[in-house]
Amino acid sequence: MALHQTESGLGRPQEPWREHAKCRWTSVDFFPVGAGGPAMRQLDAAKTVCRRCPVAEECLAYALATNQQFGVWGATSEQERRRLRRVWLSECAGDSRLSI
């Protein structure tokens, strides 16, 4: 359960969108370790859950904004998210209304 690992510990999600997270109710591992076959199968399984998740967009936005470096968030791998975050940061830097 990906999101339980970042909860406040009070048993309730910190953001309302987490109430609808598909990963709350699955045994799929959202934190695959390594780059071998088993890790790739875990990654695919987690992404499959994410693709059916109604809050995937919110999840990915949260992961980018809070620099979640590990695990699967919003159907993205760690490597994919690093690339997306670089783009996201450059877009934020170009928008003078935002401060990071």
List, in order, residues 6 or more apart from 15 with CB less than 8 Å away.
Answer: 58, 62
Amino acid at position 24, single letter: R
Task: Select 49 or 64, whichever has its Cβ closest to ligand SF4.
Answer: 49
C-alpha Rg value of the chain to the nearest Å: 14
43 binds ligand SF4 (CB under 6 A): no
The only residue of 32, 42, 43, 53 in contact with ligand SF4, by rule CB under 6 A: 53
Give the contact letters, 7-26, x = binds to ligand SF4 (CB under 6 A), - = no: --------------xxx---
Q: Is the Cβ–Cβ distance between 30 and 71 less than 8 Å?
A: yes
CB of 5 to ligand SF4, least distance (A): 11
